[in-house]
Homo-oligomer: A and B are copies of this chain.
């Protein structure tokens, strides 16, 4: 009789920093009902992965769910997968951290759930052969990737019903390919379609594996799935049907296969993830081209044959595509290296744990989920990094270092004081790009620029309605469903949204245009290269930056020197500007200084406010007209628990607007507050050789 081994599993994950209500909702709609259904079908063996952050939350808030899981493990129905505890992309963290994160989850599972994982769930299936040695050292025997990884290197679908051995530095590891067809059948299509597929795969004598492990949130957590999976009973039906075919469908755990079947052969995989991730990681204009090619091949029916050869970029390109992601990544790298330099201590362990939390992948990238576009996820990363920094820094004193912090080949100035740490990037506008307030655990420059994303442009609008009543949409079907109202709000920034950015405005510039990045910049200072004129590391320096640039006024170009002197106060960072006209004609212009402040609160009551005196005046995420004659603006944020003051010497016209991005998530397009943009400006007239000065300060109430 023909038979097939079904290796079924789920992976459940919530990022560090996600809202409690999200956890709550997923427990109710997905995690708990799944286990309850499973509990009713003791003959159905499967494999389960919960990430460490989720387990920690459940331990505190829903110990009962863990108890249920422990029982399923105890009776041998569930095999647990390990992984990096806080679900990092293993390829982009240091080798020692890979090993420790995996060991951390292994120890947790053993202690709390009585399970010893032999395999891992590979976060976002980002495979890089460099991870093999650390996994082997951590006692891991197998890992799961997509069939796409295998087809990329020339394997045919008929070869993917078992596991293969790979090797790196002589270390061996087993790899199971997940069947993408099953991944789209379960639970989105009627149960009998999965059974038919399993029938096709069944063979005389058995031994073929049908492998499907995918996000647990598909089962009730994703839009529209609760009704389908539980109310309409897809899951119960699927498990019951499989059980009723137990004579030929054998549900097994991965370890059972490992112990009973030989590998199918050897394999070396390229650096890869699933196809869609390849598209998302490309620069958006290239992602458009790839998407178009993909759709065209689909239409011409050549996709099945050619898809193995059609690749996007690699995950690490997110660090190039989004400098904001790179800054988190490089701060993480810097701190984890620093942590390893200090002697072992409880503080160091706590710091290292905070760094592991900050390695959670979600906030570092963007695809069909919000990810990087969700400020609370980025704030959570910066929060953990500031926890670590406080514990391992030489915290008491003042320190100034000049080194290539962001790994772009040029040096940044990194300043650390007891109250804050900050970074200035001389070769890119001399911006303040990082300002972490230690007591608040908030990086006030956790901003995000508005940029073109490939889904902003789409040729066709894929339907979100399933073709029949026997299936529901996956989130990928929804991916390109745009919102016409939000489409009108699309606008793109041409520079990163940081602090102390110098603008020269012409007469036609106004707040409306400026807030859409649609105005004529008259100077070349926004992204210009500054030279470091003076810096005295390890003394409280006056960092002096200098740039001779161009300013256009009327029909003429003027040579203008800007001296930009940073002062690092106890609770404030100030900049004194000294503008000089080096040309032979008088220059009339308008000089503005832009500061972005990213406040951690959400929209709504109890959130971010501009203050009028000590009283909340207006939410800082509301746009407002030009204020004239202003010398100071204060912002309060109740999550942060303090006040930020941005002030200057002489009254200015003040433009303020909230910077909001338009991005997609699993439930469609959404608009998200990223920072409050504050730009005071002054009319400036400079005779040849003349000078003009202004001092501005950003201060915090800590």
Binding site for B on A (CB under 8 A): 94-95, 128-130, 152-155, 164-165, 167-170, 172, 174, 262-263, 265-271, 281-283, 286-287, 289-290, 293, 302, 305-306, 308-314, 316-317, 319-321, 326, 333-334, 337, 404, 406-410, 427
Contacts and interface: CB of A to CB of B under 8 A. Distances in A.
B95 A427 contact: no
B169 A408 contact: no
A689 B305 CA distance: 52
A154 B313 contact: yes
Given A286-B154, A290-B309, A410-B262, A314 B94 contact: no
B293 A306 contact: yes
A337 B152 CA distance: 31
Contact of A409 (B172, B312, B404): B172
B267 A154 contact: no
A598 B188 CA distance: 57
A282 B407 contact: no
Nearest to A153: B313
A306 B333 contact: no
Which 9 residue pairs spanning A and B have beta carbons closest together? A268-B316, A263-B409, A165-B409, A130-B130, A154-B283, A154-B286, A154-B282, A167-B407, A153-B313
Given A153-B313, A309-B312, A333-B170, A320 B404 contact: no
A326 to B, nearest CB: 7
A364 to B, nearest CB: 13
Contacts of A164: 409
Nearest to A265: B408
A537 B95 CA distance: 36
A410 B479 CA distance: 44
29 contacts: A129-B130, A129-B316, A130-B168, A152-B313, A153-B320, A154-B283, A154-B287, A165-B407, A165-B408, A170-B333, A170-B407, A172-B407, A172-B409, A262-B410, A262-B427, A263-B408, A265-B408, A266-B319, A266-B320, A266-B409, A269-B314, A270-B314, A271-B271, A286-B308, A289-B305, A290-B309, A309-B312, A310-B310, A311-B311
Contact of A152 (B168, B174, B263, B311): B311
Contacts of A167: 407
A309 B313 CA distance: 8
Given A165-B407, A165-B408, 7 more contacts: A94-B169, A130-B168, A154-B287, A266-B407, A293-B306, A293-B309, A309-B311
A451 to B, nearest CB: 14
Contact of A320 (B267, B271, B290, B333): B267
Given A265-B320, A320-B265, A314 B153 contact: yes
A331 to B, nearest CB: 12
A233 to B, nearest CB: 41
Contacts of A270: 270-271, 311, 313-314
A309 B310 contact: yes
B268 A319 contact: yes
A308 B167 CA distance: 28
Given A128-B129, A319-B268, A262 B154 contact: no
A334 B174 CA distance: 19
A593 B410 CA distance: 67
Contacts of A314: 153, 268-270
A281 B319 CA distance: 29
Nearest to A317: B153
A337 B165 CA distance: 20
A290 to B, nearest CB: 5
Contact of A408 (B266, B290, B312, B313): B266
A94 to B, nearest CB: 5
A294 to B, nearest CB: 9
Contacts of A316: 129, 268
A388 to B, nearest CB: 16
A268 B320 contact: yes
Contacts of A130: 128-130, 168
Contact of A289 (B293, B306, B410): B306
B293 A409 contact: no
Nearest to A172: B407
Contacts of A311: 152, 270, 309-311
Residue among A129, A154, A164, A319 with the most chain B CB within 10 A? A154
Nearest to A323: B266
A534 to B, nearest CB: 21
A305 B337 CA distance: 41
